[in-house]
Structure 1
Amino acid sequence: MPEDSAAIGPSYGFDTLQIHAGARPDPATGARQTPIYQSTAFVFRDADHAAALFNLQEVGYIYSRLTNPTVAVLQERIATLEGGVGAVCCSSGHAAQIMALFPLMAPGRNIIASTRLYGGTVTQFSQTIKRFGWSAKFVDFDDTDALKAAIDDDTRAIFCEGIANPGGYITDLRAAADIADAAGIPLIVDNTSATPYLCRPIEHGATLVVHSTTKYLTGNGTVTGGAIVDSGKFDWAASGKFPSLSEPEPAYHGLKFAETFGPLAFTFHSIAVGLRDLGMTMNPQGAHYTLMGMETLSLRMDKHVENAVKIAKWLENDDRITRVTYAGLESSPYYDRTKTVCPRGAGALFTFAVKGGYEACIKLIDSLEIFSHVANLGDTRSLIIHSASTTHRQLDENQQRAAGADPDVVRVSIGIEDPDDLIADLDQALSKATS
């Protein structure tokens, strides 16, 4: 397990924490930037030290599949910004989702998932997790009665996105958390599209927060990664529903994670069992890139939001566009909810529908010059994609529409370029697409 390297506490402001949390000058060299500890293994002081580490009696570094000093700084930083007690970084956002569910699930168990999710997540939950004997029920989270009704004795978690991909819808996290609490199960929130700068799901009742660190946290489109943040507020032993955390663990001589580690039970289990056996490890160089990106997170997110508002308003008033889903528009049904869930802004991810339908969308994308046509979001660059034919292609038409990925819709991730240049690019491309 990693050693505590935190030098800056959570009482500092966000701008300070995004630079300093979890880090201090390297004790060996005085290096100010967190070094890349490109090492597979770490030397034990002696045989007793090694035994204590493997018995989870002492925290420290063993092997980089489990723990690494560079990754540990990133984990501490993300946990601090999210207001959690701990975090575990892994190889991708998809890995983070499986890692989050792994200690909670068993064959025959299910999760309740929002219909408004990234298409790859819908596929992971509707298809891939069946191979583990798990299942998912998809519900519109705006229908709280349906959400309550979907929960049964085998439900082990509720899962949603704070700002949903692709449409930028804002989820009522407090309502979802209250339903989860009443059922005695955790609420897991994917906070990728918002980041902790715009939204802190734990403050709205989330038990666990997951991220694709690939996106806004890194911000420069260089590496993939994921993270799970543990709120430390859930009693895993209260109901008997989570034996992996509450019952004796055979691999550690009957140790009970909830009893031994208390609020950090989930975090320790995810490293000592999850990373140990699933091996979904983040590499230290990837962690280094994300740490560098996070130093400017608040500056970038402010600019992302400012640009998104200006561009969404322009699109909304253009007669070549039939609708815009941005929650930062006063016309959005989620505008008032944004003030509570994301008080600093509704992010920079949304969709718009183009007159002319599918063919016009394709022509629009092919005519853009500044926007990049890629399957990513959260970059400093402005990005665009036609979700129905790409990220949500595996879904049937009903699933696509439920997710907000209709055939006449394109998704944009607004970057931090000059907004007037972005508007000019959209204008010329729309002229070609709808002529």
Structure 2
Amino acid sequence: MKLETLCLHAGYTPKNGEPRVLPICQSTTFTYDTTRDVAKLFDLEVPGFFYSRLGNPTVDAVEQKIAALEGGVGAMCTSSGQAASLISILTLARAGDHVVSASSIYGGTFNLFAVTLKRMGIEVTFIDENASDEEILKAVRSNTKAFFGETVANPSMDVLDIERMANLAHKVGVPLIVDNTFATPYLCRPFDFGADIVVHSTTKYLDGHALQVGGVIVDSGNFDWEASPRFSEFTTPDDSYHGLVYTKAFGKAAYIVKARAQMMRDLGCCQTAQGAFYINLGIETLPLRMQRHCENALKVSKFLACQNNVIEVRYPGLEGSKNYELAKKYLKKGCSGVISFEIKGGREAGAKFIDSLKMISLEVHVADIRTCVLHPASSTHRQLSDHQLEEAGITPGLIRLSVGLENVDDIIDDLRQALEAASV
């Protein structure tokens, strides 16, 4: 099936007389006939559901759908995108380990890596993803467990050279984790370019309607855990499961099973059946929405690029953008609906511009069906120092615009009058 069809049919196939629409299994627990049946579940010998923290039929259907969309062997939904990023790392790394990450990632992820993981004993080195191979490889240590980057960085809009970064990660025997939130599998499938693990904030385009906070981790099944000496937890017995060895028991699905069996078991940041139902509704219209988001954003970026009081427009699909060539390789169908731009006058003019908008909403959100705007330096990236903001590619006056599905003329009209008000 093509992706548009998978969005509607993957993950759930009703049998004779069953509901056409994915049902909500609103139950925390499930019953079995014998203690032996339950024991097999706890020993990971058979698939099934026994407690909704670890698995639920509605959530499972959405996990199967997202895995199919990304081309992976399995997926695990989480309570938020932040939880997905955290578990993606903790499945690989523990106290004393190290991660290499692009510096231009979302501010919340930057804080997670720079502050919270550091408190847990996991150190993260931030690199310029556009640096030379030699410079990036200098950041690697004997205890490095992963490379991390975003397909399209939030909010700098830098496009990750996934193939190059995957090759560098594999050269030193570690997987590449890619946050594919802005691109979605409709615009880019990182596994096709060598990435090993994908994470999403499903709160964004996969949901698309600002209804449900969520995240997901997807396993490509392609990384050879046994070939690298860095991942003994995958290749040696797990005492918490009677000596089970993940690579031997689950083969290509070793990573995603370990993420669920260890991390979700102990951290408990699971998605709900109701939440998964909402996310599934969003995914069903993902291709149609992404087409319109991309069309509108390209028109808006061209409008902004022609305004006298706009200093810079960052949109990979805009001809002349520094990421234009990478976008042609990785984002052939479009570059999502998010634009970052800066107007003359810095913070003060930016604030006046935002306050002058009439239809477009000021929201701490992005990738919504409705157009919304945000000032990252004073909100999502507020905890970053000026130096860290610079490393992340964020200037004090940068504005993030999430272009929605309204008539593009109405979006442009609102932007035009707000830009005029800000220039007075």
TM-score (norm 2): 0.98
| 1:103 and 1:245 in contact (8 A); partners too | no
Q: Decide which of 37, 45, 56 is 1:49's aligned counterpart.
A: 37
1:360 positional shift: 0.6
1:346 positional shift: 1.4
CA distance in 2, matches of 1:119, 1:311: 25
Query: Aligned residue for 2:82?
Result: 94
Query: Aligned residue for 1:404?
Result: 393
Q: Decide which of 231, 236, 239 is 1:247's aligned counterpart.
A: 236
Query: Aligned residue for 1:170?
Result: 159
1:361 positional shift: 0.6
Q: Decide which of 398, 410, 415 is 2:404's aligned counterpart.
A: 415
CA distance in 2, matches of 1:173, 1:240: 23
| 1:258 and 1:265 in contact (8 A); partners too | yes
Query: Does residue 76 of structure 1 match 2:64?
Result: yes
Query: Does residue 190 of structure 1 match 2:179?
Result: yes
Query: Aligned residue for 1:424?
Result: 413
Q: 308-317 or 42-51, which moves further after superposition?
A: 42-51
CA distance in 2, matches of 1:136, 1:311: 36
1:225-304 correspondence to structure 2 within 5 Å: 225-304=214-293
1:372 positional shift: 1.2
Query: Aligned residue for 1:306?
Result: 295
Whichever residue aligns with residue 314 of structure 1, its letter is F
1:257 positional shift: 0.5
Query: Aligned residue for 1:132?
Result: 120
1:284 positional shift: 0.7
CA distance in 1, matches of 2:47, 2:316: 44
Give the 4+ runs in structure 1 shifted more than 6 A.
none
| 1:168 and 1:347 in contact (8 A); partners too | no
Query: Aligned residue for 1:4?
Result: none
Unpaired segments ≥5 residues, structure 2:
none
Query: Aligned residue for 2:381?
Result: 392
Query: Does residue 67 of structure 1 match 2:67?
Result: no
Tell me, what secondary structure is at the counterpart of 2:275?
Answer: helix
CA distance in 1, matches of 2:266, 2:12: 28
CA distance in 2, matches of 1:18, 1:146: 40
1:26 positional shift: 5.9
| 1:353 and 1:409 in contact (8 A); partners too | yes
Query: Does residue 369 of structure 1 match 2:358?
Result: yes
Query: Does residue 112 of structure 1 match 2:89?
Result: no
CA distance in 2, matches of 1:169, 1:415: 20
CA distance in 1, matches of 2:257, 2:49: 13
Whichever residue aligns with residue 289 of structure 1, its letter is Y
Whichever residue aligns with residue 331 of structure 1, its letter is G
1:127 positional shift: 0.4
CA distance in 2, matches of 1:187, 1:272: 21
Query: Aligned residue for 1:6?
Result: none
CA distance in 1, matches of 2:404, 2:136: 34
Q: Decide which of 208, 212, 229 is 1:223's aligned counterpart.
A: 212
1:24 positional shift: 1.2
Whichever residue aligns with residue 349 of structure 1, its letter is V
Query: Aligned residue for 1:5?
Result: none
1:366 positional shift: 0.9
Tell me, what secondary structure is at the counterpart of 1:302?
Answer: helix
* RMSD of Structure 2 on Structure 1 (CA): 1.0
Whichever residue aligns with residue 340 of structure 1, its letter is K
CA distance in 2, matches of 1:94, 1:416: 26
1:44 positional shift: 1.2
